[in-house]
């Protein structure tokens, strides 16, 4: 078979991406045109693929318009005017996070574009695409969705402009926002439009936001502070977000109204979670499970390699870390697929010519959250004023890893499967609440390779409180239990902590405390993550307002507790440097940080010191450096005695977190 013929057959596995594709399939006018900021990858790890295939399953025709030229209005007219409307998504990733690092420097590559090429989508892609469409198609319904629209559905802090921005509905030509995962709402929208209803009349669909000048049909709603109030006082924004945060559950949330003069943005309660059968149905749709063949010449789509041989087993997360937007997007109620559905997908992977026997991941936002945290959630929802794990585990929390453990065993016993990895986050505090070690043994013995990465994020008690993470003692207890399990399994595998710098609440003193911990465990992170203030997280609200919305009493903004916010770029650089204090290139920053924190005692030659003094510098009671061993004054203190192995972060004869180990 010729290459041309093979490519033609491959194209037929995908939805139409050109007018020629559309016409060859007998479509004269599509029901929907889906405009996306990513390259087109037809795989269930990509939101646009799920939404488009779901609409197709309900009998609607969908054409994909991927990465149109936002500078050319004709680029959005490839398929003409759709019968029912345009769908718009910036892609799997927020376009601003995609384009800029936390230091606001422009990234060089885009993993969701052909060959990793940067520059194929605009900043704030969802808003730009919607406005471009509206300039060309004046009266056609436009429905925005995806992570970017979902987290900008109400007024939000924009880190990149350091300002508060209005709801996306106010700054774009979109008629509706479908927020959250979108399966239920998009089908309801499509069916309502198909029945002849005007888009302005779609005010009743759960999981959507709309704008209106008439509030008379809206009942039992919570009125949020208006736009003028939000601009006048940042504390009003903290009050507003606190109310939004309390209304993210589909079973008990109320309608929210945000006024903008004579226009109101109305947020209906979230859509109900998918049932297990609905989840199974979504993941059994006829995905091509590949990037579109038009991208072959560019080398494909880099992001796809991360998920090609991975399986999504669940959605939602009741961990509710403050820096994470999952609570606002997917919600806290866990939705899981059946074992049969997951095993069928695994069998599909084994038939792929590129499959080498390794399933790269089986999980979701949190791999070991495989069921709702308590029985009442699917009847009355999650608690508005109580978290499942923070600050202490809820008495109603049900801890059970048995179903996930059984699933992993079934997967690794499939023909053609050599190993199944668990690379999604494992919530270690949840593991510690399980008195049965069966899951931990399964994980250690079969499902990691040399190291397990978990996310304590910090060690300071005050910082952990602002993060919404458990006390550091829980992590140290888990580390001990993990090491014991390795020993009992005859394994030599390491624990690697994910850590964050410059999070709200983190002072220089806290940053030094973290550096001391890293010194004690002989670990230097290869990469350090600065806190990144992205829209619609509690931590971002703290960053912008300087207060903790969780401490609000009644409706009085003055009751909220102040939070220290490290915003100065130089201070953030010092906090980051402390986490890599062994790096000679960061010596001056580490030294300045220690002096700033009043911790000159950590500059010296003692076993607890982080760095050596500078040449001819007085230290430790005034003793001069000159003649004291003749070693480079910039050499890290931990190297002054003992022997280190060739592996960064390991001393000979001592098991330490940090690097891949070997099976015995």
Cα–Cα distances (Å) from 526 to 274, 579, 581, in that order, read 39, 10, 11
What is the pLDDT, as a whole number, of residue 469? Answer: 97
pTM: 0.91
Q: What is the DSSP letter of 226?
A: P
Domains and CATH numbers, the chain: 3-211 (no CATH), 309-449 (3.30.750.210), 453-664 (3.30.750.200)
Strands of 429-474, DSSP E: 451-457
Helix (H) or strand (E) holding 621: none
240-274 tens-digit pLDDT: 999 999 999 999 999 999 999 999 999 999 999 99
Neighbours of 501 (CB within 10 A): 27
**What value, to the nearest 5°, has the Cα angle with vertex 325 and ends 425 and 430?**
35
Whole-number Å distance between alpha carbons of 72 and 59: 31
559-585 tens-digit pLDDT: 999 999 999 999 999 999 999 999 999
Q: What is the DSSP letter of 326?
A: H
Whole-number Å distance between alpha carbons of 459 and 503: 12
**What value, to the nearest 5°, has the Cα angle with vertex 580 and ends 579 and 581?**
100
Whole-number Å distance between alpha carbons of 168 and 148: 9
Strands of 380-539, DSSP E: 419-420, 451-457, 494-501, 529-530
Please list the alpha-helical segments (H only) found in 25-124: 47-57, 95-99
Largest CA distance in the chain: 88
Q: What is the 3-state secondary structure (H, E, C) of 354-367?
A: CCCCEECEEECCCC
What is the pLDDT, as a whole number, of residue 8? Answer: 59
What is the pLDDT, as a whole number, of residue 618? Answer: 66
What is the pLDDT, as a whole number, of residue 619? Answer: 61
145-186 tens-digit pLDDT: 999 999 999 999 999 999 999 999 999 999 999 999 999 999
Residues 6+ positions from 542 with CB-CB distance below 8 Å: 322, 466, 504, 505, 548, 549, 563, 565
Token pair of 570 as six digits: 């130089």
Beta strands 176-178 and 208-212, pairing class: antiparallel
Q: Which is nearest to 590 in space by CA: 613, 608, 565, 624?
A: 613
For 139, counting Cβ atoms within 10 Å of its Cβ (0-12 exposed, 13-18 middle, 19+ buried), the class is: exposed
Q: Residue 457 pairs with which residues in a beta bridge?
A: 499
Contact 633, 615 (CB under 8 A): yes
Neighbours of 292 (CB within 10 A): 22
Whole-number Å distance between alpha carbons of 270 and 192: 18
Neighbours of 332 (CB within 10 A): 23
Beta strands 494-501 and 255-260, pairing class: unpaired
Whole-number Å distance between alpha carbons of 429 and 432: 5
Q: What is the mean pLDDT, run by run of 10 residues, along the chain of 664 residues?
A: 54 95 96 98 97 98 98 97 98 97 96 97 98 97 98 98 98 97 98 98 98 95 98 97 96 97 98 97 97 95 95 95 93 96 98 96 96 91 93 95 98 97 96 97 95 96 97 98 97 94 98 98 90 97 98 93 97 97 96 97 95 79 36 34 31 35 36
Contact 282, 315 (CB under 8 A): no
Residue 633 zone, left/alpha/beta (φ > 0; ψ -120 to 50; rest): alpha
Whole-number Å distance between alpha carbons of 385 and 246: 7
Whole-number Å distance between alpha carbons of 301 and 61: 25
Cα–Cα distances (Å) from 427 to 365, 474, 634, 663, in that order, read 10, 11, 38, 24
């Amino acid at each position: 078979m010729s290459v041309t013929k093979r490519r033609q057959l491959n194209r037929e596995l995908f939805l139409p991406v050109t007018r020629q594709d559309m016409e060859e399939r007998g479509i004269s006018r599509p029901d929907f045109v889906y405009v996306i900021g990513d390259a087109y990858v037809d795989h269930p790890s990509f939101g646009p693929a799920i939404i488009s295939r779901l609409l197709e399953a309900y009998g609607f025709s969908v054409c994909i318009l991927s990465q149109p030229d936002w500078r050319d209005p004709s680029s959005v007219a490839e398929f003409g005017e759709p019968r029912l409307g345009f769908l718009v998504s910036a892609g799997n990733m927020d376009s601003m996070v995609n384009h800029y690092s936390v230091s606001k420097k422009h990234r060089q590559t885009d993993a969701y574009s052909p060959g990793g090429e940067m520059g194929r989508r605009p900043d704030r892609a969802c808003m730009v695409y919607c406005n471009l469409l509206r300039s060309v198609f004046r009266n056609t319904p436009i429905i925005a969705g995806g992570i970017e629209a979902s987290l900008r559905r109400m007024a939000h802090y924009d880190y990149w402009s350091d300002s508060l921005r209005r709801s996306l509905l106010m700054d774009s030509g979109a008629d509706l926002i479908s927020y959250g995962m979108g399966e239920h709402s998009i089908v309801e929208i499509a069916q309502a439009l198909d029945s002849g209803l005007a888009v302005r009349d779609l005010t009743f669909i759960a999981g959507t936001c709309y704008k209106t000048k008439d509030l008379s049909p809206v009942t039992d709603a919570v009125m949020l502070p208006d736009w003028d109030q939000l601009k006048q006082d940042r504390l009003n924004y903290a009050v507003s977000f606190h109310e939004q945060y309390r209304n993210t559950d589909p079973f008990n949330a109320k309608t929210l109204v945000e006024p903008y003069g004579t226009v109101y943005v109305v947020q209906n309660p979230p859509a109900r979670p998918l049932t297990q059968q609905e989840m199974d149905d979504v993941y059994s749709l006829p995905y091509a499970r590949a990037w579109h063949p038009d991208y072959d010449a560019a080398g494909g789509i880099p992001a796809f390699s991360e998920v090609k041989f991975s399986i999504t087993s669940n959605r939602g997360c009741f961990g509710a870390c403050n820096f994470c937007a999952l609570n606002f997007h997917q919600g806290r109620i866990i939705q899981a697929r059946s074992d049969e559905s997951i095993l069928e997908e695994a069998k599909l992977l084994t038939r792929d010519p590129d499959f080498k026997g390794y399933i790269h991941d089986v999980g979701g936002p949190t791999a070991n959250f495989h069921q709702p945290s308590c029985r009442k959630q699917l009847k009355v929802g999650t608690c508005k004023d109580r978290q499942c794990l923070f600050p202490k585990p809820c008495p109603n929390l049900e801890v059970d890893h048995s179903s996930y453990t059984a699933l992993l065993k079934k997967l690794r016993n499939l023909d053609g499967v050599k190993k199944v990895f668990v690379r999604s986050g494992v919530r270690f505090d949840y593991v510690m609440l399980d008195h049965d070690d069966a899951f931990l043994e399964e994980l250690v013995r079969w499902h990691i390779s040399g190291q397990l990465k978990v996310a304590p994020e910090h060690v300071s008690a005050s910082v952990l409180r602002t993060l919404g993470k458990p006390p550091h003692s829980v992590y140290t207890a888990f580390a001990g239990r993990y090491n014991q399990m390795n020993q009992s399994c005859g394994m030599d595998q390491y624990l690697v902590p994910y850590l964050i710098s410059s999070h709200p609440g983190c002072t220089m003193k806290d940053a030094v405390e973290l550096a001391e911990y890293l010194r004690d465990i002989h670990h230097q992170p290869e990469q350090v993550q600065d806190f990144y203030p992205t829209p619609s997280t509690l931590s971002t609200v703290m960053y912008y307002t300087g207060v903790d919305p969780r401490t609000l009493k009644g409706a009085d903004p003055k009751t909220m507790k102040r939070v220290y916010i490290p915003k100065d770029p130089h201070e953030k650089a010092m906090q980051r440097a402390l986490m890599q204090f062994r790096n000679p290139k960061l010596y001056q920053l580490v030294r300045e940080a220690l002096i700033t924190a009043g911790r000159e005692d950590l500059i010296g030659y003692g076993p607890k010191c982080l760095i050596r003094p500078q040449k001819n510098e007085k230290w430790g009671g005034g003793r001069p450096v000159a003649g004291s061993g003749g070693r480079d004054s910039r050499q890290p203190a931990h190297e002054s005695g003992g022997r280190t192995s060739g592996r960064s972060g390991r001393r000979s004869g001592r098991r330490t977190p940090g690097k891949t180990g070997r099976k015995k």
